Amino acid sequence: MKNEEIVDSLKVIKCQHVSLEVSNVDVSLKFYRDFLGLKLSERHYANENPAIPFEMAFMRLGKQHHDLVLTHDPKRDYPEKIFNSGPAGIHHYAFECPNKKSFDMYLDRAKEMSLEIVRGPVLHSAYQSKGDGTWGENWSFYVLDPDKHRIEIFCEMAEIDNAGCFIMENGQKVPDKKVEEI
């Protein structure tokens, strides 16, 4: 079935929360509170519910119950994550800042907290003069959380209009570029 044949009511509306396996919930809770300001909605311990033999901490950015879920299995070994090895999984996940000023403030906070910035700040663009030749038209930097999950902080990502053109933050189109599917 082609995308355009899917009726509106069958369209999912966004990619939302992520659930991370963490080796220590307390440590990760502190990190996500201190760095990104997430708040704890509720926390539960292993076997508190018979169907859930692991810890869960539900964290939120706004009004939805959770945007991030920390999970921890007390019976599991958590060997140190090696970025370029192991089974397929999540490469990174991302948090959006409302604007470049906010992005710069998060960059300052990452430095103040001595977080490991593994890439950036960088402008992902093959069009804008400051760009690094990659894609999205957004500013980004990348840090590692306590379990070495790679987190991207970004702002100003291009939007796609109805014609499939890439529209930058300043409202301009990226010339000669179209999405691969509309």
User: Measured from the CB atom, is 20 or 56 closer to Fe ion?
Assistant: 20
156 binds Fe ion (CB under 5 A): no
Q: One symbol per residue from 91 to 130: x for binding Fe ion (CB under 5 A), - otherwise; what is it? A: ---x------------------------------------
User: Measured from the CB atom, is 73 or 169 closer to Fe ion?
Assistant: 169
Distance CA 5, CA 8 (A): 9
Q: Is 156 helix (H, G, I), strand (E, B) or coil?
A: coil
Q: Which residue is nearest to Fe ion (CB)?
A: 152
- DSSP assignment of 44-110 equals E-TTSSTT--SEEEEEESSSSS-SEEEEE-TTS--PPP-TTSSSS----EEEE-SSHHHHHHHHHHH
- Binding residue for Fe ion (CB under 5 A) from 55, 67, 137, 152? 152
User: Measured from the CB atom, is 122 or 167 closer to Fe ion?
Assistant: 122
Distance CA 71, CA 140 (A): 26
Return residues touching Fe ion (CB under 5 A): 94, 152
